[in-house]
Amino acid sequence: MLNLLDPPNKILLAEDTNLSTGMQLVLSAVQCIEDLRSDKHLDDLLSTVPDTPDVPAKRQRFASTRLTDCIVHETTGVNAMNNVELRRLYHSVLDHILREMSARFNERNSKPATALVSLDPKSDTFLTEKRLNLC
């Protein structure tokens, strides 16, 4: 999922980059990540992951004789994640990425970039008053 951000990253880091094109690529990558947030995509992703086999214990375990009269509701140290936890984690990661991208590339931050593009003599919008107005 992070590989969707690689093309905009490379373009924005290049010296001869058109910032307007870079911003369009970033917005396109954000839209692709928003599309990944669907339950259908997660179901498709989970269907491609093979089931992990049970790992045998390293040592034999015995029930404690001190706990024979107790009821254990849950155990600790189990690495199995159920489907609900995976969904929550998946959506949480995507939400974090989307929040970060919208904080860095929102409209307020894109106006200076479009103004810089308008200062380039090779640009079609060279010295366009509407693009240069940052207010």
The pLDDT tens digits of the residues spanning 59-118 come to 777 777 887 777 767 666 555 566 778 888 888 999 998 898 888 777 666 677 667 766
Please report whether residue 97 resides in a domain. yes
Q: What is the pTM of this model?
A: 0.57
- Listed in sequence order, the residues at least 6 apart from 119 whose beta carbon sits closer than 8 Å to its beta carbon are 126, 127, 132
Residue 99, amino acid:
R
Question: pLDDT band at residue 21, thresholds of 50, 70 and 90?
Answer: confident
Find the radius of gyration of the CA atoms of the chain. 25
Q: For 27-39, what is the mean pLDDT?
A: 85
Q: Are 34 and 98 in contact (CB under 8 A)?
A: yes
What mean pLDDT comes out for the span 42-53?
A: 78
Domain assignment of residue 97, given as a range: 2-49+82-132
> Would you say residue 6 has pLDDT above 70?
yes
Number of compact structural domains in the chain: 1
Q: Where do we find the tokens 């894109």? A: 110
